Structure 1
Amino acid sequence: MSAVPDVTLNNGVRIPQLGFGTFQIPPEQTREATLAALETGYRHIDTAQMYGNEKEVGQAVRDSGLDRADVFVTSKLDNGAHAYDDALRAFDGTMDALDLGHLDLFLIHWPLPGRGDFTETWKAMEEIYRSGRAKAVGVSNFQPPHLRRLLESAQVVPAVNQIEVHPYLTQDAVRAFGAEHEIATEAWSPIAQGKVLGDPVIAAVAERVGRSTAQVTLRWHLQRGDIVFPKSVTRERVEENFALFDFALTEGDMAEISALNRDERTGLDPDHFNG
């Protein structure tokens, strides 16, 4: 089993750099898929209130036989619960659904800049953090202007910003802002919903190193220093996505893949999404 390196967050909490994502996994498939990931060696599971599968993630962690302290679990706040009291209640719901004793990381899922004041939401996140029930708190899909506004009043600096990142959307400016403020970057949609897998540049690198284009893309993320959590319900693919630590990309490979950036999103634009 490969050893997954940890990333140390700004409050000293350590998070495995490679995790397993559960976005778009139906609840009835989540327990089995998450168990397969844990059996493969993943020790970092990412879920969210909006995914509707927190309960099944919790079941898988409990059923795995692993010590709770050995599995890092993230969830995210529903968009309809940004008011202070709503956020606290929603977190209670997450804790009940997961039934794991504590949460390792809790994130504001979207900034929703036109629909409310996420700085008030962040006050609830800070209260959750101070309670000890979440070992770290952070944000997701925040752009530098959102982060600057948040940091003006924040008492706790977000530990993480989870954003869409892949070779067609390298997010250099957001990542640089995060690095400057010791906010770790997590990459969602790491293979651009599969769009990068047929790219000839990535295919050429994959042929040279004898790996799949998915493995090369995920390795690119890891070598950039980001935290990444690919998703699959196929055990073979789950295992393939974990086999990333016995090869490396050259500086030239990394540069060629990074040069593919075209600022192309597969998901929503955080500056305009207020859903």
Structure 2
Amino acid sequence: MNSNQSYQPASQSSGIESQGVLYVVATPIGNLGDISDRMREILAMVSRVAAEDTRRARQLLSHIGVNKPCFSLHEHNERQKLDYIVQQLSEGESIALISDAGTPLISDPGYPLVTELRAKGLKVVPIPGPCALITALSAAGLPSDRFIFEGFLPAKQGARLTYLKNLLKESGTIIFYESSHRIKASLSDMQQVFGSDRHVVIARELTKTFETFLDGELSEVSQILDDDPNQCRGEFVVMLRGAAKANEALSVESQELATKLIEYLPIKQAAKVTAEMFGDKKNQIYQFLLSNQR
């Protein structure tokens, strides 16, 4: 550990620690080169590791040369494990919480546990590291000053469409996680709700050998997935440009023409014609027309 680091494990901090600490430890999302020195040290120091998948946890521990007892902590048993973890910490044993990949609690188990421990006055310490949504957003070229993370969309189409419709007016970048077997269906539903020309960036297999960013309108990116089955493999972060703020930078002329054109043309075509006439963004005009219709 280099001399510039200010971190001290609980066992070395000032004063005597009578209780253990839960360390919330971020782990690599694909590339093991992203393992940090601090992550190594914490995993070597704790008494045991709480893991979403103990098999994957043991593989990671083996890679860094650490042998620690592991127990499972996932969405189906998390509340049942609370008393056990509270007891261990109260007896002075420290525990590391890890997920399958990335930062725990971000679309992963851990929220009820951390809430309970804080309510009981037990110490919870984050060990920062990789997080798929932040990694993807940093290289997407979409607005990052304001964004909203929605995790995984509902599995069934009806619920998914309802969920997406509730995000129609969201102006920040909207971020989802998605699986390989639902990515095409989710993009299709996004087109139905947001329009085929909404800007989207998809990050696939982040930090891994086949890391890919697909950038374009929803219809264009969907077509790429239709044409190349390989692009449907892996784990996805879907980043959707937010709605244009109501009438922001949209000329009065564009508003008037677009409003008149939808008496004769479909919304998408009216937006396209108006954009060509006055130079405003097609998607912004489209969103203006959608809002007015609703």
Question: TM > 0.5 between the two?
Answer: no
Determine which structure has greater relative contact order: mean sequence separation of CA pairs < 8 Å that are 6+ residues apart, divided by chain length. 1
Q: Which has the larger radius of gyration?
A: 2
